Structure 1
């Protein structure tokens, strides 16, 4: 049976930075991965040649996200529409309910999101990670079987190892194309990945820790599958 896969992040381009290759792999396998973004990324670097205000940037980033989704094979992109940079300030219950609604609507079996610390401490990343975890633990998302967190230094230091590790070298052309689609964020992309014409060895892997599996938080290697669905 084909698993229904969902990726839940804060901003357009998070999906490509963290999980472009695994998304494309799922799509190539005949699955239809879906994406939920909490914001439209209007607080990102403006780039005066592309946008003169936040509303204009939000529209541009939605267009860029549509292009990236086509490249990666994402079947649906949805937005909660919360203000970029302010997820930690909105009512947490409302953020969680938005996540629950998305999961229920798509009857998702497997979820991917940020680790609890957001991976880099970004408040929006932290907020959406906590909201996804709360949604899964709420008992309202009965179709969910597994929740994966992007591997981070904090998770490694706590003794957690990736259950999924994707070598991105073979899929770098696709990932680079999706990154290029997010053109308004090229400065941040260049800072993280360097010249997209060259494979960044230090960014080789997309890695994910299994944080929840059928009612068990932080399942051990003994009772958790180490194979990708």
Structure 2
């Protein structure tokens, strides 16, 4: 069993399911400890049609949806921060850095997964959490950074790929794309990804449009991918699973 610790760092409830549901299931089954931090409650998002909740109820509703999806995926440690949806880039850098450093030093992940610097689809909140996560990783390792907990260095930082997850299976030469270092066949966990997507009930319009209304939905739900931002050299690319064996003897 792996003793790896993996932290997913994203902007909104549902980001974790769109980009890494199958990978989370694969790693959880291998024994890895998984944690998730979400910077907002998605309070500026849709409420569904017909509405699942009122606008005032949306933040709490989306947090419940997130926790339900995380449990389906085997992510048992979930932290939801209170930054503004659609305005994450305007968050005070010192505050969000401190929040993320505290989480990094407490959970002490070997691997961190977040959006690439372009935010996958150029969403400003996605771009912001990518930048804030990288900044916090550097600060968490710095002995000069004032925070509870001992300094901690992350081994690998992985980014979502330059191809949106709902387009991955349509790329003919995906394995040869220089932006793809990990390519996962998640067919075995596809039903759990579907269940996690459906847990985000308020977001059913976007989920149906991007996933369930597509003719090739089964194929689209069968692949996930990441790019390695930095970390130890990989023995081959693309890798078909995370290198969890490195952590089998970790404390």
Q: What TM-score range do you get, normalising by the shorter chain?
A: 0.7 to 0.9
Partner of 2:226: 208
Q: Once the two structures are superposed, what CA deviation does each residue of 1:182-228 show, in whole Å capped at 9, x if it has no partner?
A: 011000101111249974424532100110216xxxxx657999451
**TM-aligned CA deviation for residue 162 of structure 1:** 2.3
Partner of 1:56: 57
SS at match of 1:81: strand
Among 188, 194, 200, which residue is 1:182 paired with?
200
Measured in 2, the distance between the counterparts of 1:70 and 1:221 equals: 30
Structure 1 residue 162 corresponds to structure 2 residue 198? no
Partner of 1:217: none
**TM-aligned CA deviation for residue 150 of structure 1:** 0.6
> How large is the RMSD of aligned CA atoms in angstroms?
2.5
Distance 1:192 1:186, change over 3 A: same
Q: Once the two structures are superposed, what CA deviation does each residue of 1:146-204 show, in whole Å capped at 9, x if it has no partner?
A: 000011149x9xx7432221113222111000000001100010111124997442453
Among 168, 172, 191, which residue is 2:209 paired with?
191
Deviates more, 1:126-135 or 1:93-102: 93-102
Deviates more, 1:202-211 or 1:122-131: 202-211
Q: Which runs of 5+ in 1 are unaligned?
A: 215-219
Measured in 2, the distance between the counterparts of 1:153 and 1:71 equals: 25
1:116-155 equivalence runs, <5 A: 116-138=117-139, 139-140=141-142, 142-153=152-163
Query: What TM-score do you get using the length of structure 1 for normalisation?
Result: 0.87
Measured in 2, the distance between the counterparts of 1:111 and 1:169 equals: 23
Q: Is the 8 A contact 2:3 2:33 kept in 1?
A: no
Q: Is the 8 A contact 1:118 1:126 kept in 2?
A: yes
Q: How many residues align?
A: 220
Distance 1:224 1:197, change over 3 A: closer
Measured in 2, the distance between the counterparts of 1:117 and 1:204 equals: 24
Q: Once the two structures are superposed, what CA deviation does each residue of 1:73-104 show, in whole Å capped at 9, x if it has no partner?
A: 11111011101111011212322222111111
Partner of 1:77: 78
Query: What TM-score do you get using the length of structure 2 for normalisation?
Result: 0.79
Q: Is the 8 A contact 1:176 1:196 kept in 2?
A: no
Partner of 2:109: 108
